[in-house]
Chains A and B, each alone.
Chain A
Amino acid sequence: MSALSPAIDRFETDYAAARRSARRVNVVSTALFSICFLAAAWMGGFLDMTEVTLATGERVSMWKIWAGLPRLGEYLHKTLPVLHWETLGADLGSWFWRWKVWLRLLVETILIAYMATLLGIVGAFLLSFPASRNLAPNAVVLNLTRRYLEILRTVPDLVWALIFVFCFGVGPLAGVLAIGFHATGALGKLYSEANENADMRPVEGIRASGGSWFDQVRYGIVPQVIPNIISYTVLRFEINVRSSSIIGFVGAGGLGQEIRVSMSLQEYTDLSALFLIIFAAVIVIDTVSEKMRHRIIGLTGKGV
Chain B
Amino acid sequence: MSPDLHRAKSLVPAAFETSLRTRMVRMASWTAFVLLTAWCLWAFGVSPARLAEGALRFGNVVSFMFPPHIWTSWAEWQEILKGLGETVAMAFMGTVLGAVVAFPLAFLGARNIMPSTWFRLTIRRGFDALRAVEQLILALIFIRAFGLGPLAGILAIAVSEVGTFSKLFSEAIENTSKKPVDGLKASGGGSMQTIRFAVLPQALPVILSIILYNFESNTRSGTILGIVGAGGIGFLLADRISAYRWPEAWTIIFLIILTVYLIDGFSGFLRKRIIGGETRKTK
Listed in ascending order, the chain A residues whose CB lies under 8 Å from chain B are 36-37, 39-41, 43-46, 48, 50, 64-65, 68-69, 71-72, 75-76, 108, 111-112, 114-115, 118, 150-151, 154-156, 158-159, 162-164, 166-169, 171-173, 176, 242, 245-246, 249-250, 253, 259, 263, 275, 279, 282
Q: Across the interface, which residues of A come within 8 angstroms of B37, CB to CB? A: 115, 118
Known contacts A71-B145, A154-B260; A46 and B224 CB within 8 A of each other: no
In the assembly, what is the distance between CA of A173 and CA of B46, in Å?
7
Contact of B90 among A44, A118, A158, A242 (CB under 8 A): A44
Q: Across the interface, which residues of B come within 8 angstroms of A162, CB to CB? A: 227, 237-238, 241-242
Q: Across the interface, which residues of B come within 8 angstroms of A46, CB to CB? A: 93, 151, 154
* B150: Cβ under 8 A from any A Cβ: yes
Number of interface residues of B (CB under 8 A): 60
Known contacts A44-B150, A45-B151, A111-B43; A246 and B93 CB within 8 A of each other: no
Residue of A nearest to B254 (CB): A151
Q: Does the CB pair A155–B256 fall under 8 Å?
A: yes
Q: Does the CB pair B223–A156 fall under 8 Å?
A: yes
Q: Across the interface, which residues of B come within 8 angstroms of A72, CB to CB? A: 141-142, 144-146
Q: Does the CB pair B144–A75 fall under 8 Å?
A: yes
Q: Does the CB pair B151–A158 fall under 8 Å?
A: no
Q: Does the CB pair B146–A155 fall under 8 Å?
A: no
Q: Does the CB pair A159–B43 fall under 8 Å?
A: no
Residue of A nearest to B94 (CB): A44
In the assembly, what is the distance between CA of A69 and CA of B155, in Å?
11
Residue interface bits B87-106, CB-to-A below 8 A is 1, else 0:
01110110010000000000
In the assembly, what is the distance between CA of A172 and CA of B142, in Å?
28
Q: Does the CB pair A71–B144 fall under 8 Å?
A: yes
Q: Across the interface, which residues of A come within 8 angstroms of B221, CB to CB? A: 156
Q: Does the CB pair B224–A44 fall under 8 Å?
A: no
Q: Does the CB pair A176–B141 fall under 8 Å?
A: no
Contact of B50 among A115, A168, A250 (CB under 8 A): A168
Q: Does the CB pair A159–B151 fall under 8 Å?
A: no
In the assembly, what is the distance between CA of A68 and CA of B89, in Å?
20
Q: Does the CB pair B145–A156 fall under 8 Å?
A: no
Q: Does the CB pair B86–A158 fall under 8 Å?
A: no
Q: Does the CB pair A64–B146 fall under 8 Å?
A: yes
* B275: Cβ under 8 A from any A Cβ: no
Contact of B136 among A71, A111, A150, A246 (CB under 8 A): A246
Q: Across the interface, which residues of B come within 8 angstroms of A282, CB to CB? A: 132
20 A-B pairs with C-beta separation under 8 A: A40-B89, A40-B93, A44-B90, A44-B153, A45-B154, A48-B151, A50-B147, A64-B147, A108-B43, A115-B40, A154-B260, A155-B253, A158-B224, A162-B237, A162-B241, A168-B54, A169-B54, A172-B44, A173-B50, A259-B140
How many whole Å from A30's CB to the nearest CB in chain B? 13
How many whole Å from B245's CB to the nearest CB in chain A? 12
Q: Does the CB pair A154–B86 fall under 8 Å?
A: no
Contact of B220 among A45, A156, A275 (CB under 8 A): A156
Q: Across the interface, which residues of B come within 8 angstroms of A168, CB to CB? A: 50-51, 54, 57
> What are the nearest 4 A-B pairs in CB distance?
A72-B145, A168-B54, A40-B89, A43-B89
In the assembly, what is the distance between CA of A257 and CA of B174, in Å?
41
In the assembly, what is the distance between CA of A150 and CA of B220, in Å?
12
* B149: Cβ under 8 A from any A Cβ: yes
Interface centre among A37, A43, A46, A164 (most CB of B within 10 A): A43
Q: Across the interface, which residues of A come within 8 angstroms of B228, CB to CB? A: 249
* B231: Cβ under 8 A from any A Cβ: yes
Known contacts A75-B145, A173-B46; A155 and B40 CB within 8 A of each other: no
In the assembly, what is the distance between CA of A171 and CA of B50, in Å?
12
Q: Does the CB pair B45–A171 fall under 8 Å?
A: yes
Residue of A nearest to B92 (CB): A40
* B119: Cβ under 8 A from any A Cβ: no
Contact of B61 among A36, A37, A167, A173 (CB under 8 A): A167
How many whole Å from B266's CB to the nearest CB in chain A? 11
Q: Does the CB pair A166–B61 fall under 8 Å?
A: yes
How many whole Å from A246's CB to the nearest CB in chain B? 5
* B35: Cβ under 8 A from any A Cβ: no
Q: Does the CB pair A114–B36 fall under 8 Å?
A: yes
Q: Does the CB pair A173–B45 fall under 8 Å?
A: yes
Q: Does the CB pair A115–B44 fall under 8 Å?
A: yes
Contact of B132 among A68, A253, A279 (CB under 8 A): A279
Contact of B227 among A112, A245, A250, A263 (CB under 8 A): A250
Interface centre among B61, B82, B136 (most CB of A within 10 A): B136
In the assembly, what is the distance between CA of A297 and CA of B199, in Å?
34
Residue of A nearest to B253 (CB): A155
Contact of A163 among B88, B146, B220, B241 (CB under 8 A): B241
